[in-house]
Structure 1
Amino acid sequence: MTIASTVSQYLTDHSIQYRVIPHEHSATNRESAHKANVREDRVAKAIMLKDERGTVMTIIPASSSLDMRAVHEETGRNHLEMMDESEFQQHFSDCEVGALPPLGPAYGITTLVDSGLDDRDTLYLESGDHESLIAMDGRDFDQLMSGSRHCNLTRDWI
């Protein structure tokens, strides 16, 4: 599989310049970063959450962990929980299971973006498969996420 058709169309529709970085098969965003030889904190990772009101995508650096308390505070939705991978296909039918592109708006999903991803020179995104990343200018990513809420979704656990 290559870049997901929804992702490709979304980037084209928004006139976003990008390049595809192929890498060996990987199972996680962190592994993708290592195999593509890019920094983990430059890879945007999507985490899908759900509750009785629907789904929410959170996007954080692959080097970080999601703080559910911060998500609950930000959304006022105290029953959000992580979706099981088996549920992804209903939202991401053009993607391999587990290879979630961090582009919630492209899929019509409410999206929260960790402010730690703001103002990056270059960001890397899963493309919808387990063997390539998309590299784009951070300002272009900011443009794509302009309608999403930007907030602190990760915490230092010191």
Structure 2
Amino acid sequence: MPMLQVLKAHLDARRIPYEVVHHRRDFTAQETAAHTHTPGRLFAKTVIVAVDHKYCMFVLPANDQIDLEKVRQALKASEARVATESEVAHVCADCEPGAMPPFGNFYELPVYVSHHLIQDHMITFNAGTHEDVMRLLYQDYDKLVQPSVLDFTIAQ
């Protein structure tokens, strides 16, 4: 089943309201944010990071960058690196590369969300493709995923 359908079924089963926005094909979070009329600080991009050889999902605003040194320090790890495209394709095989939704629980991955994202009431993210995004209340996302909140970004 395509990831968009998985997400819809997951949210519908829990009676969580959401909006799906179909847009032209984009490959960067900043482009997608612009084409879906979403401020970059409200559009969540998902980055898979290998932390001491264990994959973790990091969720941050589109206009921020991940700081691997902050990740390493926050998690008391000896190594933190962004996963390669082939690693991401293996972990999130049901999504287009770079379009993973921030639901690490679907992949049995721990999820870490930037403290910048929790400051707003909505969260918007790729829904498994480079043409679909989903928008829902942050509090609903938080209840579903139960991410850990960390400071691991460099604001742009």
**Separation in structure 2 between the aligned mates of residue 128 and residue 59 of structure 1, nearest angstrom:** 14
**Separation in structure 1 between the aligned mates of residue 92 and residue 73 of structure 2, nearest angstrom:** 27
TM-score norm. by structure 1 comes to 0.88
* Partners of 1:119 and 1:138 within 8 A in 2: no
**Separation in structure 1 between the aligned mates of residue 105 and residue 21 of structure 2, nearest angstrom:** 22
User: Aligned residue for 1:150?
Assistant: 149
User: Aligned residue for 1:31?
Assistant: 31
Indicate how the Cα distance of structure 1 residues 92 and 4 shifts in structure 2: closer, same or farther if over 3 A, else same. Answer: farther
* Partners of 2:2 and 2:94 within 8 A in 1: no
| Bigger Cα displacement from structure 2, 137-146 vs 117-126 | 137-146
Post-superposition offset of 1:99: 1.0
User: Aligned residue for 2:81?
Assistant: 81
Indicate how the Cα distance of structure 1 residues 116 and 62 shifts in structure 2: closer, same or farther if over 3 A, else same. Answer: same
**Separation in structure 2 between the aligned mates of residue 74 and residue 105 of structure 1, nearest angstrom:** 21
**Separation in structure 1 between the aligned mates of residue 38 and residue 155 of structure 2, nearest angstrom:** 22
**Separation in structure 1 between the aligned mates of residue 74 and residue 13 of structure 2, nearest angstrom:** 30
* Partners of 1:33 and 1:43 within 8 A in 2: yes
How many pairs does the alignment contain?
Answer: 156
User: Aligned residue for 1:121?
Assistant: 121
**Separation in structure 2 between the aligned mates of residue 100 and residue 129 of structure 1, nearest angstrom:** 8
TM-score norm. by structure 2 comes to 0.89
Post-superposition offset of 1:13: 4.4
Post-superposition offset of 1:51: 4.4
Q: CA RMSD for the aligned pairs?
A: 2.0
* Partners of 1:40 and 1:61 within 8 A in 2: yes
**Separation in structure 1 between the aligned mates of residue 90 and residue 7 of structure 2, nearest angstrom:** 16
**Separation in structure 2 between the aligned mates of residue 142 and residue 120 of structure 1, nearest angstrom:** 12
* Partners of 1:2 and 1:132 within 8 A in 2: no
Where do 5+ consecutive residues of structure 2 fail to align? none
Listed one character per residue, the Cα deviations across residues 42-90 of structure 1 (whole Å, up to 9, x for unaligned) are 0111111114541011111111011111101111112121111122222
Listed one character per residue, the Cα deviations across residues 111-151 of structure 1 (whole Å, up to 9, x for unaligned) are 111111114121101100000110101211222232x2111
